[in-house]
Structure 1
Amino acid sequence: MSVQRNDWSLQRKGQIDQERHKERVRESIKKNLGSIVSNESIILSDGKRVVKVPIRSLDEYKFRFDYRKKKQVGTGDGNSKVGDVIAREGQTGQGPGRGPGAGDQPGQEYFEAEVDIDEIAKLIFEDLHLPYLEEKSKQAVQSKTTKFTEIRRSGILANLDKRRSILENLKRTARETGDARIGRFKKEDLRYKTWDEQIKYESNAVVLAMMDVSSSMGEFKKYIARSFYFWMVRFLKTKYDHVQIVFISHHTEAKEVTEEQFFTQGESGGTVVSSAYRLALDVIAERYPARDWNIYPFHFSDGDNYYSDNDEAVRLADDLISTCNLFGYGEIGEEGASSYRRSSGALLSIFKDRLKNQERFVGVRIDDKEDVYPALKEFFGKRGERA
């Protein structure tokens, strides 16, 4: 049997370049997820936007002459020993403008690729899920997965099954010529993969989003909290159907609000964290019994709680933990403040001290916009998966 060898890559040059471009875009997005997640133009929009991501130029590999005509010798003089300096980086004023001072060499070319926010969301959410999801008496939450399940004679080129198409070509050529070899492809040889969206039913789940809107929550802190909840809501609506979300805002008093109010309400008043936890427990008792629901309360604050309320806040937080699948608390510091302050109002330090044996309590500290993405991964990371 003779097999005709064709270099198909030469015929698919455009498609190969397109795939390389897509892969470079994906790599760049992954490297910049921290800054993309906290991108102000996304958070303050309606979520229907494209994002510009810097991508390095995709030069083709090629030979080129050394325009400086330097000798390119790869051998030493035989007198070198371990520790000898064999080269130094160019002095200031030489090279492609890296660091202080002006350079005299061209830099790397970058361009901005426009990427749909849904594509970015897929990369952000691919490793996120609701932790400790348990089977309950009611099965209502749907999660979608896509699976290739069938081979057909028609379809789009992107779903072409190359292996099966080659086999069909070999079989047809063998029937027609008696020689099993790869011949000219015809439409009847082509096979395409098709997929189905498979719906998996999970147990009921409700997420309680609590946010401090007191006067100490300035623009930066408010922006961080809304950034986290923006992506959390999008994650839940993208990956799960029918997950319910309850929005609670609080200062000295807590109240249940709409999603729009939650993301637009201004700040005022003092801070009594226990008011939010008490309302959350009341909502759970009235509408979401633990026997039927997986429950996930999350709370964001700057930690400056009224000092006499700390004990009550810890007690109610402990009640939430015993009732819920996971309780997440995010504390927002001053912008760029990496040092953690311990004071009577710094709730995170109190929680970590008095709730340290609670496996289902997760506390994070956010001091910078790029900390939002790690917080998402910390709260919705891989833990407590069912066997």
Structure 2
Amino acid sequence: MSGKYVVSREDWSLHRKGEIDRQRHREKVREAIKKNLADVVSEESIIMSDGNKVVKIPIRSLDEYHFRFDHGKRKHAGQGDGKSKVGDVLGSDPQQGGGKGKGAGEEPGVDYYEADITIDELAELIFEDLGLPNLEQKKKPELASEAVEFKDVRKKGISSNIDRKRTIYEAMKRNALQGKPGLHTITRDDLRYRTWDVTYRYESNAVVLAMMDTSGSMGPFEKYIARSFFFWMVRFLRTKYRNVHIVFLAHHVEAKETTEEEFFTKGASGGTRCSSVYKLALEIIEKRYSPQDYNIYAFHFSDGDNLASDNDNCVKLVNQLLEVCNLVGYGEIEGPYYYTSTLRSAYKRINNPKFTTVTIKDKSGVYPALKKFFSSAPEQVQPQ
């Protein structure tokens, strides 16, 4: 023989092991984040970001299964002598870590891992099951977008629209019918062109009134919780719906319409008259958003510290909002000293399925509030 030939078989899966490991790690991170969304949603690094950055989220360390050294050098729990009966306790694991008053302790603690994730990736997890409730098709749906869709294949067209895959298929089919299987030549009759139609997508109009108490009784914690809710609400609406108007209203004793930037950055002081923001909301609806043409939603967050003499007026105005809104939501933020506000007590008199209330006691309550206010009903019109 003039030469030697070596035949080898290489396991190419080894070359992909790094990518497979990275993909598996990403899935584990995603699962860990999804299990802890209530804590993740209110992370300050996210709320205070500009909305476009990659943020770091603390999650519990993602350990693989491995053998761990027994620091106490004790016998293993569950080891019997062969004479045990059903129900016998063979042993128990020692308590991990040191409790209160036991000093520094010798047991290992729980590691935390900071995972990088973009706001868009996190939003996808948060908004997975959310939707505007009671969404209806209105008489004059607003044009959301127009798009070019390739819907057909024809024998004539412009050269830039040649469908290469379909053209090759036609040439191979012709050659096969002539007894010459394979791709040899392409004739003019083989050419296929894609054709398109301009399609228009319409969506039900919707307007969301974001109302926030900015009075002196709203401390840093209360304002942070309210802004956290509205931060995710705004991002949710702009992510899932193409055609939603958002109106920002802030109030103390008086209410005013603000820009989005002012709503999330500027504070205020003074007393509280919640009825002022409901009155302004009704005026804006009457002037700019007819209930015949718009799905209307109103969400108000406050600490509930309202003028007692104003509560009856609030109930009256909320009932008026319910006549023109698909949903009215009231969120009350409890400060460090728990008490039942007179406003929350007054709202118990409102008996309307379109009126929803939530109470938030700590940061982990923001995500459940989003879920409660934006729980999709199966009969609603889904976003395009």
TM-score by length of 2: 0.74
CA 1:105–1:242 in 2, change beyond 3 Å: closer, same or farther? Answer: same
How many Å apart are 1:13 and its aligned residue? 2.1
Match of 1:369 in 2: 363
Structure 1, unaligned runs of 5 or more? 1-5, 150-174, 176-197
**In structure 2, distance between residues paired with 1:117 and 1:300:** 24
Match of 2:48 in 1: 44
TM-score by length of 1: 0.73
- Quick check: 1:114 aligned with 2:110? no
- Quick check: 1:349 aligned with 2:350? no
**RMSD over equivalenced CA pairs, Å:** 3.4
**In structure 1, distance between residues paired with 2:210 and 2:76:** 66
Contact persistence 1:141–1:205 (CA under 8 A): no
Contact persistence 1:57–1:111 (CA under 8 A): yes
Match of 2:162 in 1: none
- 1:30-179 to 2 correspondences below 5 Å: 30-53=34-57, 54-59=59-64, 76-80=81-85, 82=87, 84-90=88-94, 97=97, 99-100=99-100, 101=102, 102-104=104-106, 106=108, 110-140=112-142, 142=144
How many Å apart are 1:111 and its aligned residue? 3.0
Match of 1:245 in 2: 246
**In structure 2, distance between residues paired with 1:55 and 1:111:** 6
How many Å apart are 1:248 and its aligned residue? 0.7
Task: List per-residue Cα deviations over 1:199-242 (Å, max 9, x = no partner).
Answer: 85320000000111111111111111111111111111111123
Q: How many residues align?
A: 321
Secondary structure (helix, strand or coil) at the match of 2:299 reads: strand
**In structure 2, distance between residues paired with 1:223 and 1:71:** 49
Match of 1:163 in 2: none
Task: List per-residue Cα deviations over 1:137-169 (Å, max 9, x = no partner).
Answer: 22227499xxxx9xxxxxxxxxxxxxxxxxxxx
Match of 1:164 in 2: none
**In structure 1, distance between residues paired with 2:114 and 2:90:** 38
Structure 2, unaligned runs of 5 or more? 1-9, 152-175, 177-198
Letter in 2 for 1:312: N
Match of 1:212 in 2: 213
**In structure 1, distance between residues paired with 2:221 and 2:67:** 51
Secondary structure (helix, strand or coil) at the match of 1:385 reads: coil
Task: List per-residue Cα deviations over 1:53-73 (Å, max 9, x = no partner).
Answer: 3352453x6789999797899
Contact persistence 1:213–1:266 (CA under 8 A): yes
How many Å apart are 1:384 and its aligned residue? 5.9
CA 1:107–1:9 in 2, change beyond 3 Å: closer, same or farther? Answer: farther
- Quick check: 1:385 aligned with 2:342? no
Structure of larger gyration radius? 2
Letter in 2 for 1:78: K
**In structure 2, distance between residues paired with 1:44 and 1:205:** 27
**In structure 2, distance between residues paired with 1:317 and 1:233:** 22
Match of 1:323 in 2: 324
**In structure 2, distance between residues paired with 1:225 and 1:251:** 14
How many Å apart are 1:19 and its aligned residue? 2.0
**In structure 2, distance between residues paired with 1:364 and 1:98:** 37
Match of 2:31 in 1: 27
Deviates more, 1:361-370 or 1:8-17: 8-17
Secondary structure (helix, strand or coil) at the match of 1:354 reads: coil
How many Å apart are 1:98 and its aligned residue? 5.9
CA 1:58–1:386 in 2, change beyond 3 Å: closer, same or farther? Answer: same
Contact persistence 2:358–2:369 (CA under 8 A): yes
Match of 1:263 in 2: 264
Letter in 1 for 2:125: L
